[in-house]
Amino acid sequence: MQFTTEFKTAISRLPGAEKDKLLFRLLKKDPDLCNRLQFELVEQGDTLQQRREAVEQEINKLASYDLYSPGYLMMDMRSLNSLITRHVKYTKDKEGEIQLTLLLLRLTLQTHLDFIVAHLYRADTLQDYLVKRMQFVLHKLAKLHEDLYVEYEADANYVLQQLHSKVAPLQAQKAKLPRNWPL
């Protein structure tokens, strides 16, 4: 929504108490903005590592689950991906987004690889999801400085190798995923 300059000046002229009252009313309607302001103003960015570790703990819980079907695994992964997205939305932690998404993919493939391979006949959507998530990670990695590639190279190559060799070879080829990273 575009604000006219008249509207902006009228708001600027409001007394401080009135502005505060209106601001709190607006914040009640937007919990995402509240969480972002909590992180930026109250925590002043000091809790970034703790927030990242909390998401990591949730991802590690997935590794300990006994799986029922590939569909449920994908639902759990999507749920965890929404946690990662929320983390990035509140903290603007771009590097954490890559790190956490790669962790999710690597841990899922390390701990549940045999299950996924045994159920490939009914894991089409899971295969597509894994390939798309890896494409997302590679796209984000391309935006990072080359000096940071070393941190992610082993995990990215492990995921790419598993996708190409066992989990989703056809989907990986169709998506033109590289076999190794960096190119």
- pLDDT tens digits, residue range 22-60? 888 888 898 888 888 888 888 887 888 999 999 999 999
CA dihedral 86, 112, 73, 180 (to 10 degrees): 60
Cα–Cα distance measured from residue 50 to residue 55, given in angstroms and rounded to the nearest whole number = 9
Tokens 């607006």, residue located: 26
CA dihedral 172, 175, 179, 180 (to 10 degrees): -130
What's the confidence (pLDDT) of residue 36? 86
How many CA atoms within 13 Å lie on the side-chain side of 157?
Answer: 10
What's the confidence (pLDDT) of residue 55? 94
What's the confidence (pLDDT) of residue 76? 93
Q: Phi and psi at residue 65, in whole multiples of 5°?
A: -75, 145
Q: Which residues in the chain come in under a pLDDT of 50?
A: none
Q: Phi and psi at residue 58, in whole multiples of 5°?
A: -65, -40
Radius of gyration of the chain (CA): 21
Q: Phi and psi at residue 123, in whole multiples of 5°?
A: -120, 30
What's the confidence (pLDDT) of residue 63? 80
What's the confidence (pLDDT) of residue 178? 92
What's the confidence (pLDDT) of residue 50? 92
Q: How many CB atoms lie within 10 A of CB 32?
A: 10
What's the confidence (pLDDT) of residue 66? 82
